[in-house]
Homo-oligomer: A and B are copies of this chain.
Amino acid sequence: MDIWYTENHTDNVRLSIRIDRQFASVQSEFQRIDVFDSVEFGRIMTLDGLLMVTEKDEYIYHEMITHIPMATNPNIKKVLVIGAGDGGTVRELCRYPSIEQIDMVEIDELVVHLAKEYLPFTACSLDDPRVHIYYQDGLRFVRKVENEYDLIIVDSTDPFGVGEGLFTKEFYGNCYKALTEDGILVNQHESTFYTSYSNAMKRAHSRIKGFFPIALVYQAHIPTYPSGHWLFGFASKKYDPVRDLQADWWNGLGIKTRYYNTILHRGCFAIPNNVRDALRESERDKR
């Protein structure tokens, strides 16, 4: 018997993964959530049919969304994580004894429940005493917050469904307000290879640049995401992630990573012309 999960990266490109069996298929108030075991990638979770987490390569995404800001400012104490229901980002944050509080705002409680049951490799730190989970819309949550967080991580889905509000001008403006003077905003920033993702990426960059004096993009190789070339946004009020990298401090922590290192930290901001040109286009469109 053959079972294949297929994600359409565009109408004309598909990635298919051989499935051993399905553990869950639930329609929540917000989205359809599926959990599978796959032969090549281990346990995987999809939201509305789009691949979010695989056991084999989730560490790339979660390390890159977390350690880049953390290695830039060692004084990060209070973190807001938006989305991130699988727990992978919180797991990486919990490796820092210096962090005092992690507020996680996930709109869909069912994602967290299913992650706790089926994805222990990402959900393993959600019960850390520093972690407070709010089952709310992230867009609404940040509206009422001011000068409170040293770091906001937007670990959202794509801006095509439930995650749409997390790519709006209003949201980024409220993130700016919710951050302290030292504040850093990191977000999953889509990709440039396929047009629909590229448009989302350009819109996000242009909006973030409207609020933050420093707004850069960095990249990682994530094999199971469309095109395998994925981007993150780094925006801040004063920190430059390359100039201010605290490599000695970070290496002294002894955090064992499988993708991130402090040499890669500098390297991942060296973006190819195809990404640089897309960013420039988005900046031109804004003016």
Contact = CB atoms under 8 A, between A and B. Distances in A.
Contact of A12 (B12, B38, B60, B257): B38
Given A12-B17, A13-B17, A17-B12, A261 B268 contact: no
Interface centre among A194, A258, A274 (most CB of B within 10 A): A274
A188 to B, nearest CB: 16
Contacts of A276: 261
A95 to B, nearest CB: 15
Contacts of A260: 272-273
Interface string A222-265: 01000111000000000000000000000000000111110111
A128 interface: no
Contacts of A60: 272, 274
State how many copies of this chain the complex holds. 2
Interface string A14-40: 111110000000000000000000111
Interface residues of A, number: 44
A266 B276 CA distance: 16
A258 B270 contact: no
A7 to B, nearest CB: 11
A146 to B, nearest CB: 37
A228 to B, nearest CB: 2
A240 to B, nearest CB: 15
A73 B13 CA distance: 39
A229 B57 CA distance: 12
A276 B261 CA distance: 10
